[in-house]
Structure 1
């Protein structure tokens, strides 16, 4: 089976097959210790083995090994070694907890509801850990091959306990917080780049013309040249241990990226590339530059499903002076700053740097490493929040919004708007909050169109996990909706005004007591009498002259909804119940239709009734009518039943 890659198959060229007698490795096998062992092979090439035989309760080992193999195997939901380690640790806690209970369930058939309840409520573990352990164990036992081997009562305890478990989504930063965080990360990254480039320029001057260097600069340049050649950072001749560490760190930072540089650089990468922390940790050094305009590389996007982990991305480079503002320019800067460490450690990862090897017990070239090539958990000590709080100008969070006071609680001399106090709490920086913030920002820039805003996630995931929990996005969406509704209502009112300009304005007689009052409003005696008797009534109003349309002079053939824009329309207090019933029916239709369709179909009539006709009646008259049962809305007179939404 030697043929690989694109072009190795095709018409007449079948897929390569393993040699005869090939057998896939068993997911569960006997390990070196004699117990059952489960192997893991991640989609990113990382591997691990887990010895179930080291756990207590031997009667549980076959089921636990099978459950773990199904969870972290090719068909399971765990595709990374970090995830596999988490599943293994949870499984270990489950087995060790059951071994301490009394009576202990020596086999899966002995498990009871009380055991599951006790595992969920154990007092020596934090609430968040207990909840995650319950979710993980239910996932491991959920496979059909395993679920049936647990007692139904115990399995029901998992489901009942987890019904109320809801993941709490993470909100983003405010506009001010995001701007301050971006400025801080960009300023610190610029200082890091200037520092290392200054060291490289000194080496260049030493090679080109060492005679131009003064003795002190030449001595420092020769030290840096030795470091650049060997990768070894020298030790000072004397001094304390703490002083040695600080001295070596300062010396190494003139040529190499160090651990303390990682926080601002990774924060800026997350802000500019709009990618999550896991993807940034696994950025490859291999790339392709496209006509000096863009850089193309293969990024890793975890949890996208089997065989969907790798995505080819193209990032703009931009001009050299804008390298901290474009994703491609910042990526190439990262490769420049880590080039020497990458050469010494031999990694293909973009994130490589020098570390002081005392704690790890390494020296020389081994002090250069790519931490995330082995384990993404190394980022837990990256200290993003610590960097934001301890830099010369800390990045501060906005103060919480002030509670609005009612008019009764507000002192008379207090102004309506009080400027918020300046924040003094350091900003908590996490990759999740950064991702939420940049996704929300991009969505706002694109007008809220989710299919266009979805970049590294689906539109559904973007809304559920990033936009919905973000307070600033909700406020922006409410403003957009309010403005859109105001624009739609104004457009409907303008359409009503144009129609009224052509056909005349409806005549509203708020409180007629007799036909004489109707005549006093300008109606003829016959029209006043017929209006008082209800002979001119239509669906919701009355029509003065049905036989002569104001525009055409011919018999009217318009919809009854057009009556509200017609000079022949007559409205009295007797029509209020029908008008209010119509408004209620239109409000119900609005919940079942799209806003665009509703405003186009019913908006002009709705606005005319609310803003033009009902405004002629007092609020007391309208409220009095609303307290009585309203008649049928009679919408079937203007819309065929089969056409109604």
Structure 2
């Protein structure tokens, strides 16, 4: 078993180095935690195993079964980490690796807070409105404390008597960064709960992080890890936009940083534009910033816990999962419901997906950053599939495209036959001069076979369908049975092949038939032609005819 431990340790050490694939503290801890699970399992179930090369298919199956019993919702993620560590060892049995990596159906009902639940547009707007409402209260609370300190610094006697003691302690707190003795303020400010209430007068506290994080994700469309690690350092561009460097943990070691640019907007739009909201958070943390040496936007005051002293610090200084984000609980507190009136279950990944889906439709189907990070299939499956508004938008787009095609074909037809009023000339039944051979005469006639568009100067070799966009074309009542038959064939063909291919092949002939040629005949003539229709060449022959 010691050899097994050493082998797994060597593989782990290679992966978490600078040149490895897991080179952040959080990813290394996650990997190490899952490695411990497989080592503990093997120590209990196969203590005599000499090394990794002795692992077989049955070990993989039993490990899967054990994980599913204990961690049904995260078994696949744990196996993924184990595969990362073990997959590069040449001594492993190939059957073990194949069985370990085989997809299993997972019970997702155990997922915390409904991970992966999509939000409709209406649900997304309700989440954003609830977060914005809470942020309004936070802004009013902190600004009131800042104004009280400013008034006390300017003239202590001008502060109302019932607030003067609180103002004095808040000023001391802001200047030193240390919690003063709160006994003079009475029982409401005792113990940890009272200390947190006191700090909340001038600073953000942990309870504020969920609405702030939710609203920033709703406004910016960024994932929660990027928002949590936003830097304080930024630039204002031309007074209308804000830019800052963001950390992208999910983009690989070669794409860890990106410059985000957000609109600031008017001051009244602070809670509607990501740039304006960024500056608001900067304002709300201004009292804490002199006491924190980290370049982070989200600063908070925390009570002492464990070995950590109380004080101002970066909200996620102990890890990005330091503050528990129970979104289902938050949704219940805000009385949020889904579109069916039931409990709203979501996470911030669903918020980001809803944002990108809305932005995709607004930009004509393109998701700004996702277009070059994902394939078209991933974009459709994760952002647009099943969304009713997207489906309607796509239908409207297709309809508009075909309308544009029809307009273009009509314009081309009118230009081709401009000399005859935009219509194919009629053929006098007694005129046979310039008519083509019998096979082609059935559908139309030609004024001059030597002036065709394909090979001028020689007998025309264009297909019969091309004749409907040729200025030499002539049609008469003698052609009507064949034209009626052709119109029926084209209509039937449109039901059996992709519509865009159909338009490319037959659109010009179809428009000429239905809007020019057949409209010049009466219903009686058309009915007689339908009854008199004989056997005509298949449509494939007309496509290939020369």
Q: Tell me the TM-score normalised to structure 2 length.
A: 0.79
**271-280 vs 462-471, which deviates more?**
462-471
Q: Does 1:192 align with 2:135?
A: no
Counterpart position of 2:161: 215
Return closer, same or farther for 1:187/1:568 CA change in 2, 3 Å cut-off: same
1:458-501 deviation line (CA, Å, top 9, x unaligned): 35387267424562564255334433344245425634773677
Q: SS of the counterpart of 1:219?
A: helix
Q: SS of the counterpart of 1:217?
A: helix
Task: Pick one of 377, 388, 395 that aligns with 1:479.
Answer: 395
Counterpart position of 1:404: none
Summarize the alignment of residues 293-308 of structure 1 with structure 2, pairs less than 5 Å apart.
Answer: 293-308=240-255
For the 8 Å contact 2:241–2:261, the answer to whether it is kept is yes
For the 8 Å contact 2:206–2:315, the answer to whether it is kept is no
1:105-152 deviation line (CA, Å, top 9, x unaligned): 332222111111111122522333222232222232232xx1x20123
1:45-77 deviation line (CA, Å, top 9, x unaligned): xxxxxxxxxxxx212123212221233233332
Counterpart position of 1:277: 224
Q: 2: CA distance between counterparts of 1:179 and 1:165?
A: 31
Task: Pick one of 348, 351, 357 that aligns with 1:431.
Answer: 348
Q: 2: CA distance between counterparts of 1:326 and 1:312?
A: 17
Q: Does 1:149 align with 2:91?
A: yes
For the 8 Å contact 2:3–2:50, the answer to whether it is kept is yes
Counterpart position of 1:352: 299
Q: 1: CA distance between counterparts of 2:48 and 2:541?
A: 69
Summarize the alignment of residues 124-143 of structure 1 with structure 2, pairs less than 5 Å apart.
Answer: 124-143=69-88
Return closer, same or farther for 1:584/1:91 CA change in 2, 3 Å cut-off: farther
For the 8 Å contact 2:189–2:197, the answer to whether it is kept is no
Summarize the alignment of residues 132-281 of structure 1 with structure 2, pairs less than 5 Å apart.
Answer: 132-143=77-88, 146=89, 148-159=90-101, 161-162=102-103, 170=116, 172-230=118-176, 231-232=178-179, 234-236=181-183, 244-281=191-228
Q: 2: CA distance between counterparts of 1:579 and 1:165?
A: 54
Q: Does 1:502 align with 2:421?
A: yes
Q: SS of the counterpart of 1:369?
A: strand
Q: Which runs of 5+ in 2 are unaligned?
A: 109-113, 451-456
Shift of 1:245: 4.5
For the 8 Å contact 1:186–1:268, the answer to whether it is kept is yes
Task: Pick one of 37, 41, 64 that aligns with 1:120.
Answer: 64
Return closer, same or farther for 1:150/1:292 CA change in 2, 3 Å cut-off: same
Return closer, same or farther for 1:103/1:140 CA change in 2, 3 Å cut-off: closer
Q: Does 1:332 align with 2:275?
A: no
Q: Does 1:542 align with 2:487?
A: no
For the 8 Å contact 2:7–2:51, the answer to whether it is kept is no
Q: Does 1:604 align with 2:508?
A: yes
Task: Pick one of 516, 538, 560 that aligns with 2:464.
Answer: 560
**114-123 vs 134-143, which deviates more?**
134-143
Q: 2: CA distance between counterparts of 1:494 and 1:88?
A: 68
Q: 1: CA distance between counterparts of 2:369 and 2:534?
A: 50
Q: SS of the counterpart of 2:261?
A: strand
Return closer, same or farther for 1:538/1:598 CA change in 2, 3 Å cut-off: same
Q: 2: CA distance between counterparts of 1:336 and 1:325?
A: 16
Counterpart position of 2:41: 97
Counterpart position of 1:454: 369
Q: SS of the counterpart of 1:373?
A: coil
Counterpart position of 2:321: 377
1:368-411 deviation line (CA, Å, top 9, x unaligned): 222423311224x13344333313xx333222xxxxxxxxxxxx
Q: What's the C-alpha RMSD, in Å, of the aligned pairs?
A: 4.4
- Count of residue pairs the alignment pairs up: 517
Q: SS of the counterpart of 1:303?
A: helix
Q: 1: CA distance between counterparts of 2:493 and 2:12?
A: 57
Counterpart position of 1:85: 29
Q: SS of the counterpart of 1:116?
A: helix
Return closer, same or farther for 1:504/1:315 CA change in 2, 3 Å cut-off: closer
Return closer, same or farther for 1:72/1:102 CA change in 2, 3 Å cut-off: closer
Q: SS of the counterpart of 1:176?
A: helix
Return closer, same or farther for 1:611/1:113 CA change in 2, 3 Å cut-off: farther
For the 8 Å contact 1:295–1:316, the answer to whether it is kept is yes
Return closer, same or farther for 1:457/1:607 CA change in 2, 3 Å cut-off: same
For the 8 Å contact 1:296–1:315, the answer to whether it is kept is yes
**291-300 vs 470-479, which deviates more?**
470-479
Q: SS of the counterpart of 1:312?
A: strand
Shift of 1:176: 1.9
